[in-house]
């Protein structure tokens, strides 16, 4: 079996207004641009993405605008909504309990940005970044931690990439119960398992474009398979 190496980086970006976030993200733009759908490149698609973001993540709208100005790309704002991305199906493994969240990444190192980011957009959040400001996992200053795995079904619908949803939960919630309450009303584009942990409880929930949020019976969810969608 051939060995693969991955170099991870850790950066601090503050509130995204001083150029540190933009310098890092500009270098990733050629790859990120390829994740956008054809619909997202139309005025109608961009407008729908903006309205969806305003409806479901109103607290993050000022941050979206601030980052879009820093990115300074014609389609930058639409991309940053993460409501217009091509589906990507990838597996990870995670377990939560007793105030602890553990996880790994069961996919090719080439598919992982490998950047641990400390930010202060609305509050201090640290996590493994993907798609410019989305998160594969993370924790906020209140001690709430979240992570994701692929939900196991290759379906796609109208909604957000789960990466921005994890960001939103960490930016606006302090407890598992509060995060689950918000997660129930957010449209998710592909099936995902989300594990949420605070000092009092750990819960895994199942979400997707064709199901209502359902809480898992146990603490552990594994999904080691991976598949990239076009």
* pLDDT at 164 > cutoff 70: yes
What is the mean predicted confidence (pLDDT) over 192-203? 92
Q: Is residue 221 part of a domain?
A: no
Q: Is residue 106 part of a domain?
A: yes
CA distance linking residue 35 with residue 30, whole number of Å: 9
pTM of the model: 0.87
**Residues of the chain with pLDDT > 70: what percent?**
81
* pLDDT at 153 > cutoff 90: no
Which of 31, 47, 80 is the last residue in one of the domains?
Answer: 80
Judge if 119 and 63 occupy the same domain: no
Cβ pair 135, 118 in contact under 8 A? no
CA distance linking residue 11 with residue 14, whole number of Å: 10
CA distance linking residue 221 with residue 193, whole number of Å: 7
User: Mind listing the pLDDT tens digit for each residue in 30-46?
Assistant: 888 778 888 888 999 99
Q: Is residue 4 part of a domain?
A: no
User: Mind listing the pLDDT tens digit for each residue in 7-66?
Assistant: 889 999 999 999 999 999 999 888 887 788 888 889 999 999 999 999 999 999 999 999
Q: What pLDDT is recorded for position 224?
A: 34
Name which residue leads in pLDDT, 104 or 184.
184
Full domain range(s) for residue 47: 15-80
Q: Is residue 196 part of a domain?
A: yes
CA distance linking residue 112 with residue 129, whole number of Å: 9
What is the mean predicted confidence (pLDDT) over 96-103? 67
User: HSE of 49 in the Cβ direction (CA atoms, 13 Å)?
Assistant: 27
Pairing relation of β-strands 91-97 and 100-106?
Answer: antiparallel
In the sheet that holds 145-150, the strands lie side by side as 9-14, 115-120, 124-130, 134-140, 145-150, 192-197, 202-208, 211-215
Model confidence band, residue 223 (pLDDT cutoffs 50, 70, 90): very low
Q: What is the total count of domains within the chain?
A: 2
Judge if 38 and 69 occupy the same domain: yes
Judge if 103 and 197 occupy the same domain: yes
Looking at every residue in the chain, the average pLDDT score rounds to 86
Name which residue leads in pLDDT, 66 or 4.
66
DSSP-assigned letters across all residues of 178-192: HHHHHHTTS-BSS-E
The residue with tokens 């606006």 is: 172
How deeply is 110 buried, as exposed, middle or buried, from its count of CB atoms within 10 A (0-12, 13-18, 19+)?
exposed
């Amino acid at each position: 079996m051939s060995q693969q190496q991955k170099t991870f980086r850790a950066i601090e970006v503050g509130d995204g207004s001083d150029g540190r976030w933009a310098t890092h993200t500009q270098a990733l733009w050629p790859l990120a641009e390829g994740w956008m759908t054809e619909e997202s490149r139309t005025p109608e698609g961009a407008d729908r993405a903006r309205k969806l973001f305003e409806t479901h993540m109103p607290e993050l709208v000022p941050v979206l605008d601030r980052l879009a100005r820093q990115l300074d790309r014609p389609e930058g704002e639409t991309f940053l909504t993460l409501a217009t991305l091509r589906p990507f199906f990838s597996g990870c493994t995670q377990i939560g309990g007793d105030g602890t969240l553990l996880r790994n990444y069961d996919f090719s190192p080439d598919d992982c940005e490998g950047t641990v980011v400390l930010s202060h957009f609305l509050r201090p959040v640290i996590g493994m970044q993907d798609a410019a400001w989305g998160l594969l996992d993370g924790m906020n200053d209140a001690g709430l931690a979240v992570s994701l795995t692929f939900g196991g079904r290759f379906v796609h619908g109208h909604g957000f990439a789960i990466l921005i949803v994890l960001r939103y939960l960490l930016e606006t919630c302090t407890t598992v119960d509060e995060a689950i309450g918000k997660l129930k009303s957010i449209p998710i584009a592909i099936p995902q398992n989300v594990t949420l942990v605070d000092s009092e409880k750990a819960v895994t929930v199942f979400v997707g474009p064709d199901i209502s949020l359902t809480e898992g019976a146990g603490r552990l969810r594994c999904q080691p398979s991976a598949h990239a969608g076009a």
